[in-house]
Structure 1
Amino acid sequence: MSNLDSQTAYWDTAATTKTFTHPLHAPWLDDVNRHAAILDYGCGYGRTMEALAQQGFDNLSGVDTSPGMITQARALHPTMRFAVLDTPPTLARPDASILFAVLTCIPSNHAQKRLIAELSRVLKPGGTLYLSDLLIQDDERNRDRYARFAEHHDAYGVFETGDGAVCRHHPSDWFPSLLADFENIDTRRITVATMNGHESAGIQILARRPSQAQVGPVDSFTAGLEDR
């Protein structure tokens, strides 16, 4: 994954300065065994893992490419399991995974496809993927910055924030293509505050790896990264 697609230095700093807010939709978890192994891929400072623990899940692991995020996660949640992911997107211990606003931190199509392919590889047949991310926005501020950075980043929806991050908002039709190897279970639209405090339209997708897929070295439940 390129430096642009990991931006580790930025996220190390953001670990203690940003607040993430993507909501965990509890009804989607009703049928998931509370002892299922869950890997929060892009766990950030552990906010989503804490929400899962409050729902009764007891086999949680979090990984992130940012050492600063993992340091903060361990400080806030000393009894939980966290590890720095040194070689994204290859998973070292893929019990399962969650993707909450991780894709918005990965600007390129290629890197996003590599990540989803790895999650598909490691997730057991019939396992679930829970993804939460941000859509293309319709307001003038966002339209202006999409247009301003489109040529430089060769994609409409990729933009640079004032404090140095390169982020991406997605057209809704990108996700069916990205998740072509998964079966869609449910989709919901959400409104969420971004890490810089702006209200934005988002999407959450619950999907399943087909049961006939080749078995990978994972356990049971997958979702999305810590929201950014």
Structure 2
Amino acid sequence: MTDLGDQREYWDGVGATKTFTHPLDPGLLAGVGPAARILDYGCGYGRLMAELSEQGFLDLSGVDVSSALVERGRRARPDLRFDVLEAPPGLAVPAESFDVVLLFAVLTCVPDEGAQRALTEELHRVLAPGGLLYVSDLLLQDDERNQLRYAAHAEEFGTPYGVFATDDGAVCRHHDRAHLHALLDGFEVLEERPIEVATMNGNRSRGVQLLLRKR
């Protein structure tokens, strides 16, 4: 089975062709000034950075494990800063380097629990005191197709319920709300909103967005 903490091969291949759709709500960042240092962790081809740039934010950085997605982003928006994340989740920056971090549809792509915990701890490290973490991710689905996928993967590989394989080779995870809250226990929840979103393979799924503040 693929490495559940990285999956770089998938994202440098078929994953680099995907369109990402989790919506960015500008209202959740209404109190953030234009000079705020913003990191998009798992930036893909820079969709969110482009949106924020158009809204007047000036200090935007993006990192992703996929060199193919980063190159796609650099071609589309050469004015934005992209870097390849060589040894995830580690960021080659000092502590407290950012005021805001975006984490959009990343935890679903890092289904390993230890890797998820290491990631949230690293983001806590690089956020300034009182800094904001804006998370958008997918919840456990209650339809038969997904429930069968969860059960089959758990039986074959012993993974947590909610982990599944897509038809094109990714291993993903849908989350129980309690698991997400436990994973983000170093942060205070300021806002929590349900969303419905098209997945990268075009299926409608229930998700959640959280705005959190570093404790």
Normalising TM by the smaller chain, what interval?
A: over 0.9
Choose which of 141, 161, 164 in structure 2 pairs with 1:159. 164
Q: Which is strand-richer, 1 or 2?
A: 2
How large is the Cα RMSD of the aligned pairs? 1.3
SS at match of 1:79: coil
In structure 2, C-alpha distance between the alignment counterparts of 1:76 and 1:111, rounded to whole Å: 30
Distance 2:202 2:92 in 1: 34
> Cα gap change, 1:120/1:10 in structure 2, threshold over 3 Å: closer, same or farther?
same
Confirm whether residue 130 of structure 1 aligns to residue 134 of structure 2.
yes
Distance 1:121 1:208 in 2: 13
Deviations along 1:148-202, one digit per CA (max 9) or x if unpaired, are 1112142100000111100000011111101111111010000000000000000
Cα deviation for residue 58 of structure 1 reads 1.1
| Equivalence for 1:19 | 19
How many Å apart are 1:97 and its aligned residue? 2.1
Aligned mates of 2:16, 2:149 — CA distance in 1: 26
CA distance in 1: counterparts of 2:30 and 2:143, whole angstroms: 35
Q: What does residue 188 of structure 2 align with?
A: 183
Partner of 2:47: 47
Mapped pair 1:144 → 2:148: yes
Contact 1:65 1:88 in 2 (8 A): yes
Q: Which one of 174, 178, 183 corresponds to residue 179 of structure 2?
A: 174
Residues 15 and 72, structure 1, Cα contact 8 Å, conserved in 2:
no
Where do 5+ consecutive residues of structure 1 fail to align? 211-228
Aligned-pair CA distance for 1:140: 1.0
Aligned-partner residue type, residue 118 of structure 2: R
Q: CA deviation at 1:3?
A: 2.9
2:197 maps to 192
SS in 1 for 2:78: coil
Change (3 A) 1:15 1:75: farther
Rounded Cα–Cα distance in structure 2 between residues aligned with 1:87 and 1:19: 24
Superposed displacement of residue 16, structure 1: 4.2
Q: What are the residue-to-residue correspondences of 1:32-71 with 2, within 5 Å?
A: 32-71=32-71
How many pairs align? Answer: 209
Q: Secondary structure in 1 aligned to 2:35?
A: coil
TM-score by length of 1: 0.88
Shift in Å at residue 15 of structure 1? Answer: 4.9
Which consecutive unaligned segments of at least 5 residues does structure 2 have? none
Percent identity at matched positions? 54
